Structure 1
Amino acid sequence: MTTKTISSRRVSFPQLLALLVTAVIVWSGINPAFPQVWLAEIIPVLLLFIPLLVTYRRFPFSHVAYSFMAVWMILHTIGAHYTFANVPFDWFNNLIGSERNHFDRFAHFAIGFYAYPIAEFLSRKEHCKPWLAALFSLTAIMAVAAGYEIIEWWYAVLAGGDAGIEFLGSQGDIWDAQKDMLADTLGALTSLAAFAVLKPYRNPTPIKR
């Protein structure tokens, strides 16, 4: 067996991330706290994960972009299993002296990480200049954040009862939606700072046409 054959069989970093995300999704679906909530929460993960698998060979993102995307998928899938208000996160809540479970804030912050792959895609495809790609990705994340809060409200009203309350996850905070959107925006700004430093459009992974 040649060295070339051996190297071709190695699992790449994106494939390892895909296996990790798949494992977490499978685990999350085993006896979730609220099956109805789990289904509603896992749908957004699958809507992102499956297209990434399908388009991997045609448009491979950078390792950094895949890492950013995997963080949110994993955090959101964990939240789907327990419901965000009930994820075992006492170590952090106790650290900041809060009775509220702030795991959902971390998940919302991670949503903002998707600004990086959006900007990377637009700049590598040469649809626009990198600065405009970054600006568009920031506003896109902010729009998605606002839209998701509307979906949460709609589902909570539709589902009602404990399932609706757990899906909403406000935990009694009347400003929960606004704080979630702020977390999304801060996550986007953080990932775009990495975009500005790393400049993935300069040495991109080859795109198969």
Structure 2
Amino acid sequence: MSMKLKRRKYSLIYASRQAVPFKKDRPLQLMLMVYIIVFAVLALNPVDFRQWWYLNSISLLVVAAAAAFYKTSRLTNLSYAGIMLFLILHTLGAHYTYALCPVGEWMKGALGFSRNNYDRLVCLAFGFLISAPVMEILYHRFRLRYIEACLISVFIIVAICALNSLAEMLWAAISSSQQLFILSQAQGDIWDSQRDTAMGLLGACFNMGNGIFIKIRKNQKIHMVRVSK
């Protein structure tokens, strides 16, 4: 297949994906319904109501942004599934302020951790799951080369993790119970921010590296620019 035909094929695939209206997209409707139900259930009696809304404010902004840009910058359902899965993991952590999450307590006992590492798990999931939609936006909308989109996605994930650490520091600074907040988030780990960022980096590198490896195995050119409509 010639380069011209390949670009035409990619353009048609992208255009057809963009044309799907939300009312006909059953998988996406199901994903949204599942998230709404999980959010509503976990909003009941959280461990710390203020932290619950603080931690979930970003989740609500992500859902609002996805809805606002659905018509102009629709992602694949696989990317939406990754976003939904991360939001569910984050919402569960927010319900228990992360430090008290039962999943982390089980990991602590089963794997011999000295702290509840559910926050590390979510950071790893963030890098792995969110790097895909970020790469997709860069690849389709900004028409970057595939390998460039993958590399920049990793940088963006690391930047978001760092900004999240700064936001936590700011919240701790203005919180009425700074010591309690620091203990609940960092759990006494002075390298908490760096390790969270490292887990996000690891997840993003694994996902993007895997994508590059698969394309190379299929003899697809990772430097080729995808042509959008």
Using the size of structure 1 for normalisation, the TM-score is 0.83
1:174 to 190, 208, 212: 190
Match of residue 96 from structure 1: 111
Match of residue 3 from structure 1: none
Question: What secondary structure, in the 3-state scheme, does the structure 2 residue paired with 1:99 have?
Answer: coil
2:207 to 176, 179, 191: 191
Q: 1:139 aligned to 2:167?
A: no
Question: What secondary structure, in the 3-state scheme, does the structure 2 residue paired with 1:169 have?
Answer: helix
Question: What secondary structure, in the 3-state scheme, does the structure 1 residue paired with 2:99 have?
Answer: helix
Residue pair 1:72, 1:107 contacting (<8 A) in 2 also: yes
In 2 relative to 1, CA 121–176 (structure 1 residues): closer, same or farther, beyond 3 Å?
same
Q: Percent identity?
A: 26
Q: For each residue in 1:104-123, what CA deviation from the matched residue of structure 2 results, as whole angstroms up to 9, or x when unmatched?
A: 11111122121111111111
Q: 1:111 aligned to 2:122?
A: no
Task: Single out whichever of 13-22 and 169-178 deviates more from structure 2.
Answer: 13-22
Q: CA deviation at 1:28?
A: 2.0
Q: What is the root-mean-square deviation of aligned Cα atoms in Å?
A: 2.7
Q: CA deviation at 1:167?
A: 8.4
**Amino acid of the structure 1 residue aligned with 2:87:** M
Match of residue 4 from structure 1: none
Match of residue 100 from structure 2: 86
Q: Between Structure 1 and Structure 2, whose CA radius of gyration is higher? A: 2
Q: 1:22 aligned to 2:36?
A: yes
Any stretches of 5+ residues in structure 1 without a counterpart?
1-7
Residue pair 2:97, 2:184 contacting (<8 A) in 1 also: no
Any stretches of 5+ residues in structure 2 without a counterpart?
1-21
Using the size of structure 2 for normalisation, the TM-score is 0.77
Q: CA deviation at 1:157?
A: 1.5
Residue pair 2:151, 2:208 contacting (<8 A) in 1 also: no
Match of residue 41 from structure 1: 55
In 2 relative to 1, CA 153–168 (structure 1 residues): closer, same or farther, beyond 3 Å?
farther
In 2 relative to 1, CA 40–126 (structure 1 residues): closer, same or farther, beyond 3 Å?
closer
Residue pair 2:182, 2:188 contacting (<8 A) in 1 also: no
Residue pair 1:108, 1:183 contacting (<8 A) in 2 also: yes
Q: 1:74 aligned to 2:88?
A: yes
